Amino acid sequence: MYLHRLGTASFIACLTLSVSGCGEVDDSVPNQSAAARAIAEKVRIEVEKDRLKRLAPRLASAIQSAEAAPTAARLAPVSAEEQSVKATRPADELYAANCSSCHGATGAGDGPLSAGLTPTPAKHADGNYMNALSNEHLFKVVKEGGAAVGKSATMAPWGTSMSDEEIMGLVAHMRGLANPPYDGPMP
């Protein structure tokens, strides 16, 4: 009888260790039957299912909180065709949608949001200022934001929502706004 209890206690101890993740299959148990291993596997599966059931509501709540956050990224559904061919949006449309609210439609620094900004937004139409800046500098400002080049942190980074090709297109668009005209190398 004592030997039977010792065998049962050993089995339960091994089963507990296996279920808690302290070992997958314990081949060191001599003469462990296939039935005992099958039972241990069923228990492990049930424990894992129970753990997932307990975690699911917490995970769902965390996802809902993240989605409700004002800074949550909103991704539009992308078709398989769009995924295989990356479309570059026209620079003038990108400028109108993302830049003109601060820099103005013509790059004069007079967008509707510019009045409340200190310092005021750069005037892309001012060729005397813009023409002295390199294409690489302008690319970095658009991609990484103003703070990346020691300018105002209110100039947002666009590198997560625009491709490098689109940013280069924006740099070329800004070059076209400059007066006097930019005569250096185009991006």
pLDDT tens digits, one per residue of 120-129? 999 999 999 9
Do 37 and 100 belong together in one domain? no
Helix (H, G, I), strand (E, B) or coil at 18: helix
Helix (H, G, I), strand (E, B) or coil at 140: helix
Do 104 and 34 belong together in one domain? no
Length of the chain: 187
Q: Is residue 134 part of a domain?
A: yes
Q: Is residue 76 part of a domain?
A: no
CB atoms within 10 A of CB 88: 13
Please give the single-letter amino acid code of residue 168.
Answer: M
Q: How far is it, in rounded angstroms, from Cα 100 to Cα 114?
A: 10
Helix (H, G, I), strand (E, B) or coil at 114: helix
Say if CB 175 and CB 124 are below 8 A apart. Answer: no
Q: Which of 34, 68, 102 is the last residue of a domain?
A: 68
Q: CB-side exposure of 34: number of CA atoms within 13 Å?
A: 0
- What residues make up the domain containing 127? 89-177
Q: Is residue 159 part of a domain?
A: yes
Confidence class of residue 12 from pLDDT cuts 50, 70 and 90? low
pTM of the model: 0.55
For residue range 159-180, what is the model confidence (pLDDT) as tens digits? Answer: 999 999 999 999 999 999 999 9
Do 93 and 169 belong together in one domain? yes
Q: Is residue 82 part of a domain?
A: no
